[in-house]
Structure 1
Amino acid sequence: MKKIITFIEKTFALLSMAGIGLMLIIIFLQVISRYFFGYTASYSEELSRYLFVWVTFLSLPVVSRQGGHMIVGLLVERFTGERLRRLKIVGCVCSMTFLVIMVWQGIRMVQLAVWQTSPAMEIPMSYMYYAIPLGCGGMLLVTLEELFAVLRREEA
């Protein structure tokens, strides 16, 4: 399972970095074309917005696995030993419940948006909504890995 999650983490990190780079190039070219030529491509704003959504959701499992998400430090610092372990288990279960709902609703959004097209690029809106189940599904796997580590009494 660790190999699969590591592969997902590296793939999502690479795709996120590529998305940020592409977004930077698109926005830069949009500014240059508007400033020098008085022309703005209609798709540039829409594409950069969709890339931002994809980068955000693909970054979820990467940041989660690296321990970068916020925690309530005051609450966690008050517990040690077995109480801290139980708190981590409850946190993982709550997170997993939320993520299962997000994946499920994300899939429903994809299904509902199949026939809807984006205004400027005229691509199916479902392409944008695929980011929700993919990103939340990846984070679900990372949270599951963390839960197993806590249950095995490994550091998580």
Structure 2
Amino acid sequence: MKKLESIFVTLNGWALIVMLAAMSLVVGANILLRYTTAHSLPWADEAARYLMIWMTFSGAGLVLRTGGHVAITNLQDALPVKGQQILRGAITLGLLLFFCFMVYVGMQYAQRMQYQVTPAMRIPFIYVYAAMPVGFTLLIVHLLLIARPFITAGEYKHGDTNALPGSANG
């Protein structure tokens, strides 16, 4: 199971790297063309925007693994150990329910947009809006993988960041 988790985290990290590289290349090429030929790519801004949307939703799960999202821990810190575990369990359950709801809402929204196309690239909006259900599905998987150590000890998977592409050990 640890091996599958490591592969999952690594693939998620590489997908983000590929999207960031693609966005950087598109924006860089557009800037280069604009200043050297006085013409720019009409679809570059749109492609960069949609890649940023996909990176945001796809990367949220990796940030969740390391505790990188905003958290206020005053109540948790004031509770005894057993109370902290119950609170973290409730938070995990609440997050899981919210993420599942957002997958459902995201799928509905993406399906509603399937017949509209983007202005410049002329691709169906379903591919853009699919980032939401895909991203929240990734959040569900990441949450389930870190739930036990988080609930029992309040620990995040800080060690998993070494398995990410581009890290010292990755």
TM-score of the superposed pair, with normalisation by structure 2: 0.82
Residue equivalent to 2:79? 79
The share of aligned pairs that are identical, in percent, is 24
1:34, distance to aligned residue in structure 2 (A):
1.3
Answer whether contact 1:9 1:61 (CA < 8 A) is retained: no
Counterpart amino acid of 1:55?
M
1:12, distance to aligned residue in structure 2 (A):
1.5
Answer whether contact 1:27 1:45 (CA < 8 A) is retained: yes
1:87, distance to aligned residue in structure 2 (A):
1.1
Residue equivalent to 1:68? 68
Residue equivalent to 2:105? 105
Calculate the aligned-residue CA RMSD, in Å.
1.9
| Cα 1:34/1:149, change in 2 over 3 Å | same
Between 1:4-13 and 1:36-45, the stretch displaced more is 4-13
Counterpart amino acid of 2:64?
S
| Cα 1:4/1:101, change in 2 over 3 Å | farther
Answer whether contact 1:8 1:138 (CA < 8 A) is retained: no
Instruction: Write out per-residue CA displacement over residues 78-136 of structure 1, whole angstroms, 9 at most, x where no aligned residue.
Output: 23410110110111111111101110011112211111111100011111111111111
SS across alignment from 1:88 = helix
Counterpart amino acid of 2:16?
S
State how far apart, in whole Å, the 2-side matches of 1:18 and 1:58 are.
12
Counterpart amino acid of 1:142?
H
Answer whether contact 1:103 1:134 (CA < 8 A) is retained: yes
Residue equivalent to 2:51? 51
Counterpart amino acid of 2:18?
A
| Cα 1:21/1:52, change in 2 over 3 Å | same
Answer whether contact 1:96 1:143 (CA < 8 A) is retained: yes
Residue equivalent to 1:88? 88
Map of 1:118-137 to 2, 5 A cutoff? 118-137=118-137
| Cα 1:37/1:16, change in 2 over 3 Å | same
Q: Name the count of aligned residue pairs.
A: 155
Instruction: Write out per-residue CA displacement over residues 27-58 of structure 1, whole angstroms, 9 at most, x where no aligned residue.
Output: 11111211222111111000000000011111
Counterpart amino acid of 1:121?
M
- Structure 2 runs not aligned, ≥5 long: 156-170
SS across alignment from 2:43 = helix
SS across alignment from 1:42 = coil
Answer whether contact 1:26 1:44 (CA < 8 A) is retained: yes
| Cα 1:43/1:74, change in 2 over 3 Å | same
State how far apart, in whole Å, the 1-side matches of 2:117 and 2:13 are.
28
